[in-house]
Structure 1
Amino acid sequence: MSLYLLFDIGNTRLKWAAVESTQQPSDRQKKLWAYSGSISSKSLASPEHRAELADYIAKTLPKPDAIGFTCVAGKEAIQNLQSLFPQWSDITWKQLVGNSLFSGVRSLYQDPSQLGSDRWAAVLGARALSSVNTLIINAGTATTIDLLGANGVHYGGWILPGLELMQKSLESNTAQLPLAVRNESSNGFGLSTNNAIIGGCDAAQLGAIQYAIQLAKEMNHPVEKVWIDGGNAKILAAEMGKSKTQSSLSIESIEGLVLRGVWAWLLQNP
């Protein structure tokens, strides 16, 4: 049995998963991520936390046949990651970057080497799951929105502050606005300062998504599927589900879209 170990080092979280050769990135079974986990990306900077992570993974899994990863947290994070398993020194680490080639998908980015590797991995993950005109949203520290055509062309996308960054910027750069707390009554126009902030930040995110959907239609690539990943995925998916203008879209919150992309790429580059 072949085993692939996958890592996604984001600005906030380090995520990992192990998958068997009998599985495919298109699989939707619940047990797909039977071996998986997530910790703070900052933990990689701590020798103690690295030792704990390495010990946990090595004791949980058999030796993998390959390790694939993507990282947007800087070179030091990559070095710390690759120091985890000295006992597996014969395994090649394969890094997916923004200009990594993938059969069936290409990007129109002016300089693909500057395309965020997490965005590119999410595009590849989305392609593994569906082959229609797709909007790919990664709602994490930043919110990224990318358009992938049914023809396999990535038409670019947008990067905007994530929900927490928007909320914290209001707290940090104004004299009287507090750090808002999400609650169940945060719907529609806010009737309190707290709910006005939560609703306003949600509206900014949803407005960008709605504009992306409209723009894709004008480009003759009307969106049929929306994949949403990241820490705020369920929030945005729920809010989008309330919109009557998006009722015809297939909107789905999914975990591990970036990991799926790394996996799909690794299968093409064993």
Structure 2
Amino acid sequence: MSLYLLFDVGNTRLKWAAVESTQNPSDRQKKLWAYSGSISTKSLQSLELREELSDYIAKTVPKPDAIAYCCVAGAEVMTNLRTLFPQWQDLLWRQFTGDSTFKGVRTLYQDPTKLGADRWAAILGARALSANNTLVVSAGTATTIDMLGGNGLHYGGWILPGLSMMQESLPTNTAQLPQATRSNTYSQALGFGVNTNDAMIGGCDAAQLGAILRATQLSKELNHPIERIWLDGGNAKILAAEIAKLPQPLALSTESIEGLVLRGLWAWLVQQL
């Protein structure tokens, strides 16, 4: 079995997947990520945990034909990542960066070297799934919103604090606000909170949704009305549930999907081989 091994190293989580070379980055089957996993990025700081991860992956999948990775967690983490498989020293690790080129997609970013590798990979992942005017929303530690035209042009985007970061900043920087907790009973999409906890949760949700709505408006003004919104990241399901309560057709065009960065890495790697 011929495989590609992919790593997405974020500030919070390290995700990996091994995909068969006979598969396609546009494949939507759940079994696509049969060989995949996720751990805390901090685990790479521990030699013992690195050895455990290396042993687990090496025993789970055969030696891959190629390895691709993107890392936004810093140089030390990147170095630790590349020491995982001493038994595969002959393999070339291909690093994906914000200025990595991809046939059919280009960015208007003034300095692509400053474009986050994970953002760029997610954009390519979205392109592998559809050729529509698209918003690519990664809802993780930070929330990033990027506009990709059906013409393959990335028009830029925004970076804002993620949901958890927003919520945690309120009690940290104020004297009387408590730590907010999202409960199973909370259901006030865009509604006004009638207690402090729901007011904080609802306010943070509304801020995220407001940015998405503003992005759809700007895209329309660019004559590229949004036809698809892809949501990825730890808070993607929360945002998808809130967007579903918005007026149509925005809700109908939104889908939460896992592994968008890994999918983009994969599509890029295929072009490199």
Give the length in aligned residue pairs: 270
Residues 244 and 251 in structure 2, CA contact (< 8 A), matched pair in contact too: no
Structure 1 pair 186–179 and aligned structure 2 pair: CA distance change class (3 A): farther
Deviations 1:111-147 (A, max 9, x none): 0010000000000000000001000000000000000
Q: How far, CA to CA, are the matches of 1:59 and 1:176 in structure 2? A: 52
Taking structure 1 as the reference length, the TM-score comes to: 0.98
In the alignment, structure 1 residue 229 sits paired with structure 2 residue 266? no
Q: How far, CA to CA, are the matches of 1:44 and 1:50 in structure 2? A: 6
Which region of structure 1 is more displaced relative to structure 2, 245-254 or 24-33? 245-254
Q: How far, CA to CA, are the matches of 1:206 and 1:245 in structure 2? A: 14
What residue number does 2:186 align with?
185
Residues 228 and 254 in structure 1, CA contact (< 8 A), matched pair in contact too: yes
- What is the letter of the counterpart of residue 152 of structure 1? G
- What is the letter of the counterpart of residue 163 of structure 1? L
Residue among 243, 253, 269 paired with 2:256: 253
Structure 1 pair 149–249 and aligned structure 2 pair: CA distance change class (3 A): farther
Residue 143 of structure 1 aligns to a residue whose secondary structure is strand
Residue 38 of structure 2 aligns to a residue whose secondary structure is strand
What residue number does 2:60 align with?
60
Which runs of no fewer than 5 residues in structure 2 stay unpaired?
Answer: none
Deviation at 1:247, TM superposition (A): 4.0
Deviations 1:193-249 (A, max 9, x none): 110000000000000000000000011010000000000000001100100154464
What residue number does 1:205 align with?
208
Deviation at 1:250, TM superposition (A): 1.1
Residue 166 of structure 1 aligns to a residue whose secondary structure is helix
Which runs of no fewer than 5 residues in structure 1 stay unpaired?
Answer: none
- What is the letter of the counterpart of residue 214 of structure 2? Y
Percentage of matched positions with identical amino acids: 71
Counterparts of 1:21-100 in structure 2, within 5 Å, are: 21-100=21-100
- What is the letter of the counterpart of residue 82 of structure 2? Q
Residue 126 of structure 2 aligns to a residue whose secondary structure is helix
Q: How far, CA to CA, are the matches of 1:232 and 1:185 in structure 2? A: 15
What residue number does 1:214 align with?
217
Q: How far, CA to CA, are the matches of 2:122 and 2:37 in structure 1? A: 18
- What is the letter of the counterpart of residue 262 of structure 2? L
Taking structure 2 as the reference length, the TM-score comes to: 0.97
Residue 124 of structure 2 aligns to a residue whose secondary structure is helix
Q: How far, CA to CA, are the matches of 1:194 and 1:70 in structure 2? A: 37
The 4+ residue runs of structure 1 with deviation greater than 6 A are: none
C-alpha RMSD of the superposition: 0.9
